[in-house]
Chain A
């Protein structure tokens, strides 16, 4: 990094870049959440199932996020691990109305937490209990119980209920993530 870059970084003119992985089962709303976080002129109108992954960028008040929005379909999940190494934070999205597949989500989460690239790092994980507007959605507390989140001892985590279509609850989560990343740096 050049001198100018460092100066501008110090002065807070230039936002620091962080890599975030966005994971979760298919149809949980990952792409919709990321889309909603982007500035309104860059948002796309229709969301289709992601195949593979796509790279998106958005900014919060003090950070510039580069998100690897991974596909959640069963056959692509084993490709997530290629990107674990350079993720500085993880956003894990859960469809809180899909009780049936909650166990699948738990299984995927456990595999993720036990992966050698993740296991020994103090990497912040943000959970979105998405689709809270649906009638049969369970509460975020219930979700955290179902996923046994209390067992995560060595990583900071946070769960918040969200409705990606309206954008509710997203900002709260991102703010938490931003705090975590900045506190980890200092």
Chain B
């Protein structure tokens, strides 16, 4: 498959997975492109699905992903985007990026992406964490921009962020207790002085 079209479809994947923030609770949205995605577990069982524009991939109903699984996607752009670049990012971290030559000037594609090839997802999608994802492809002939939410499906105890959060919260509580127990009445210099003079 044309590499550029694959990249376009990955952006469309993000479009299917996410929403424009202002419409996050309504439906998946995308500008300049459309598509759908079906997420599957590492065992190949269907996990979730979303379309953009359409249902799924919202903050209230994020697209569930198995970081070790795959996603089957279809996508299309309103115009053939050639000679550009593409990227998919989450929390300001670029997960995937590349050039988008698209010399064949295709406007649609489909395929499957192995999420296990994106190590950052294993950390970001631990537990039930839901994260905003955005994707863009820009080049000659147009552009495609999308954003929305995806969520993890792993167990809490397997999530590093769970343990980090627990330790930090416990440390904060202990410090809070020490603030309570450490607040004591002390004699001022004047009190000590007057006390000394009296004696």
Query: A and B, one complex?
Result: no
